[in-house]
Amino acid sequence: MKKYQLLVGGEWRDPSSGAWLESMNPFTGAPWALVPRGGKADVDAAVAAAKAAFCRQSEWRRMTATGRGALLHRLGDLVAVEAERLAEIETRDNGKLLAEMRAQLNYIPQWFRYFGGLADKIEGRVIPIDKPGVFNFTREEPLGVVAAITPWNSPLLLAAWKLAPALAAGNTVVWKPSEFSSVSALEFGELFERAGFPPGVVNIITGFGNEVGEPLVTHPDVAKVAFTGGDRTGEQVYQMAARGIKHVTLELGGKSANIVFDDADLTAAVNGVVSGIFAATGQTCIAGSRALIHRSIYPEFAERLLALARTARMGDPLDSGTQVGPITTRPQYEKVLDYIRIAKEEGALCRMGGAAASRPECGSGWFVEPTIFTDVRPEMRIANEEVFGPVLSIIPFDDEEDAIRIANNTVYGLAAGVWTASMRRALMMTERLEAGTVWVNTYRAISYMSPFGGYKRSGLGRESGAEAIREYLQTKSVWIDISGSSPNPFVMR
């Protein structure tokens, strides 16, 4: 088994604990790599390296914005060359389909290129200030050391969403990947040096949330925390960061509604609902885990949905024919099965799946059968809590108002889907839905160009799109007297 090291100040080193964690392959249930178990001492060293790389005289700070952009472009090109190798690593580490991870890895370069392109377009403004004899302008400046904390489901994609804008804006980074899927991050680490980033601009510390994440979030020299993960962890991270008055971006969970009206193209809608929940084995924050179906088409829609979902092929995520892979972690596997049990106890009707998968093609992996519940009532836990697995609830609605009420009746607000042929209805729904992303007649589309983030408990701030770079900048207002006079010192100018 390959034994990895931490990246601190451009050097690979053993963790100060002298301990390593076994990274598990969810398809085989067996360990396949050893990941350093970092701790506070490693965090301190990494933050010190990132702080040194950010200091006024550093190579990084003296580099032009165009130079920073060129490094990001080079990094994007290196990721493109390494995409296949990194995609396979991610599949071994988190069990998601190779087809999905390959598509992500081939797309990740665009985040580095897009934000690389933005690096030298960060401009202040000259403000036509209302005070005579004064010139006022703004400067957009980096924040300093950014802590990037990422989850296990799309390790490199979600890291790229943070690293690309953070670096384009001129910050330095300490990156803590999930303890369940750190291998791709550690392999990615060497690309920073190959791209030409000065040592210490990006540091990587692996390990547990309480042993690495907490010391990182609370470190006095960390200026910003960019976090993706569950909303409970996000709440803790937010509270810890608040004590240090740090900048925070939170990308948290969801309970997204995929809403199908009776005028929709039903073939497309069935397809969209299946892709919303069973793609990636439901382990995406944008999973459309609640299908809201107009009552007049509910029985027909349910039958068509069940028929399509039953064809889903489970198996080895490295196999190109597989459509549904295992659950990434053992605790998550148990959590998904728990939710299925609770839904049954609360009276939801399990129309498909509803158990661990024992098909021969699933081997000894952590598989859960694609599961569909009907007769789900709004108060049930399955209708309200994020399962993060292949479990769909189908809920009928009567009219537009009813659909909006049910869709918005959640603490989350990450995404929603609307299936309709009516432009009026589509536009009205996009306005009324409380979600950071709304798809109409499609689902699960993302781009480096389009802002992504949550309403309500799904998060704070935006990743991707031109807005995202603002999350890594602070504005300085500069006032210059051009009057040459001495105004009354006892009156505010």
Active site residue 251: yes
Asked if residue 145 binds ligand NAD (CB under 6 A), the reply is no
> Among residues 254, 4, 222, which one has the least CA distance to residue 151?
254
Question: What angle, rounded to 10 degrees, do the helices at 65-94 and 155-168 form?
Answer: 170
325 is a site residue for ligand NAD (CB under 6 A): no
Query: Quick one: 450 or 475, whose CB is closer to ligand NAD?
Result: 450
**Touching ligand NAD, residues 395-414 (CB under 6 A):** 414
Phi, psi of 51 (to 5 degrees): -70, -40
Pick from 95, 253, 317, 325 the residue near ligand NAD by CB under 6 A.
253
| 237 is an interface residue for ligand NAD by CB under 6 A | yes
Cross-strand partners of 248 = 225
Name all contacts of 63-69 with Cβ < 8 Å and 24+ positions apart: 63/198, 64/120, 65/119, 65/120, 65/122, 65/170, 66/119, 66/120, 68/116, 68/119, 68/120, 68/167, 68/168, 68/170, 69/116, 69/117, 69/118, 69/119, 69/120, 69/168
Which residue from 26, 95, 200, 229 is in contact with ligand NAD, where contact means CB under 6 A?
Answer: 229
Query: Who contacts 402 (Cβ-Cβ below 8 Å, separation ≥6)?
Result: none
Interface with ligand NAD includes 236 (CB under 6 A)? yes
Q: Interface with ligand NAD includes 188 (CB under 6 A)?
A: no
377: left (phi over 0), alpha (psi -120 to 50) or beta: beta
- What is the longest distance spanned by two Cα atoms in the chain? 86
Q: What's the min distance (Å) between Cβ of 230 and ligand NAD? A: 4
* 209 near ligand NAD (CB under 6 A): yes
Considering only 208-216, 355-363, 368-376, 398-406, which stretch makes contact with ligand NAD by CB under 6 A? 208-216
Alpha-helical segments (H) within 26-170: 40-54, 59-62, 65-94, 98-118, 155-168
Q: Which of 90, 179, 211, 251 is catalytic?
A: 251
The one-character DSSP state at 399 is S
158 binds ligand NAD (CB under 6 A): yes
Which residue of the set 82, 90, 100, 285 is catalytic? 285
214 is annotated as an active-site residue: no
Residues 362-391 that bind ligand NAD (CB under 6 A): 386, 388
- Candidates 153, 203, 393, 437; binder of ligand NAD (CB under 6 A) is 153
Stretches 33-41, 109-117, 231-239, 357-365: which one binds ligand NAD (CB under 6 A)? 231-239
Q: Does 118 participate in binding ligand NAD (rule CB under 6 A)?
A: no
Interface with ligand NAD includes 185 (CB under 6 A)? Answer: no
d(CA 310, CA 353): 9
230 binds ligand NAD, rule: CB under 6 A: yes
Applying CB under 6 A, the residues found at the interface with ligand NAD are 149-153, 158, 176, 178-179, 209-210, 213-214, 217, 228-230, 233, 236-237, 251-254, 285, 386, 388, 414, 454, 459
Active site residues: 251, 285
